[in-house]
Structure 1
Amino acid sequence: MSGSARWRWAVVAVIVVVALVVALWPLLHRSHDSAASILASEVPTAPAEEQVSAADRAAAALAPCPAPSGAPVGDSPLRGITLDCLSDGRPVDLVAALAGKPAVLNLWAYWCGPCAEELPLLQQFSEQARGAVTVLTVHSDPGAAKGLSRLSGLGIHLPGVEDANTKVRTAVHAPAVLPISVLLRADGTVAKVVVRPFGSVQDIADTVAAELGVRA
């Protein structure tokens, strides 16, 4: 084959390749877009916080959240955290509302089995403490309505707040487990973060006495 013939065949081959690329480009482009859409759809998104109706709140019959007493507060990691009260939906400034007496913040969620076993113990301890210690439940999940339903089913009427974004757990640098109990001094500072479920009412009473100096 002469040099000119080889050159002509080379030109023809280049033209064929270019034509194929032009013909297939839309298909390749659409395939890339489809793959990208599938990957994007698989990225999990945070669940939206559930809306709670007045009927849900009334059915749970929870105690009202504590109101600010005006007592002085210390350098608490919970400063600036405001959460909605489960009983009426009103915002609660945690440090301001809890200042004035020791408190136990119990972090839980409606799906947590150990939490369901511990909550009745906290209810009994609160009754035993007769107001000397505030016990506040902190529902640490966006499913507020499910949380209220769970409390109602367990017969728990402690005051509680909704912490959909786990602000309390993050503030006290606790691990991502439940239940967790945060023991606060009267000035709102953290005395102890208990990363385990309490096993009995006496266990709660002994821990509170040791960390907060209150025998209930």
Structure 2
Amino acid sequence: MSNRTRWLVLVLVVGVAGVVALWPRDRAPDPQPTSARPAQDVSALRAQAQLRACHPAGEGGVDVTCLGDGTRTALALKGPLLINFWATWCQPCQEELPVLDTYAKQPGAVPVVPVLVESREADGLELLARLGVRLPSVYDGSDELRKRVKAPITLPATYYVAADGSVRQVTDPPLFTAPEQVEKAVR
């Protein structure tokens, strides 16, 4: 073997070793993601949020989690009822939730149920506590309720369930900025 061939083989071996050394590798997953919260933290967040009790389970309802106490319940689409889909990352949702809470405190108000989607329960509890919103709220981790009412992926999305069980999306206004708008939408 000539010197030239030896050098060529040596350069090739060093080149392959360099590529292998620099090749990106999958990192082993962390044993516990840093975003996960221990159960006791969620319990503390539930206590801090001080949400009102969820509505009693109804027949034929969609299985959701009550954010106030963590129990599973069936949310029935029986009205009158106002359902509001929201997420923690949704800025308009953060503006609308206190308006819905103020409306719900008025005598004769239609029950309002905020439904947390596309977010973690703990983050939703933190946000509700920070906003001072105490509405009975649920978490729809499977997105089953949103599928049932054929809600769009855009948020917030609000639906009025009439006494006869019919469901209609509230689009006027697309975002509630005053309790009077909510009252008008549920007439």
Question: Is the pair's TM-score, using the shorter chain for normalization, greater than 0.5?
Answer: yes
Is the Cα–Cα contact under 8 Å of residues 51 and 68 in structure 2 kept in the other structure? yes
**Alignment-derived partner of residue 132 in structure 2:** 155
Runs of 4+ in 1 over 6 A off after TM superposition: none
Q: Among 50, 57, 65, which residue is 1:84 paired with?
A: 65
* Higher percent of residues as helix: 1
TM-score scaled to structure 1, two decimals? Answer: 0.64
Work out the CA distance in 2 between the residues paired with 1:153 and 1:37.
Answer: 38
Q: How many residues align?
A: 180
Q: Kindly indicate whether the alpha-carbon contact (under 8 Å) linking 2:151 and 2:157 is maintained by their aligned counterparts in 1.
A: no
Residue 46 (structure 2) pairs with residue 57 (structure 1): yes
| Structure 2 unmatched ranges of 5 or more | none
1:88-167 residue pairs with structure 2 within 5 A?
88-94=69-75, 98-128=76-106, 130=108, 133-164=110-141, 166-167=143-144
Gaps of 5+ in 1: 1-7, 74-78, 210-216
Task: Please say which structure displays the higher CA radius of gyration.
Answer: 1
- Superposed, 1:177-216 pairs within 5 Å as 178-186=155-163, 189-192=166-169, 194=171, 196-209=174-187
Once residues 162 and 186 of structure 1 are traced to their aligned partners in structure 2, the CA distance between those partners, rounded to angstroms, is 23
Identity rate, percent = 29
| Amino acid of the structure 2 residue aligned with 1:92 | T
2:170 touches 2:185 (CA, 8 Å); kept in 1?
A: no
**CA RMSD of the aligned region, Å?**
3.5
- What's the CA shift for 1:69? 4.0
TM-score (norm 2): 0.72
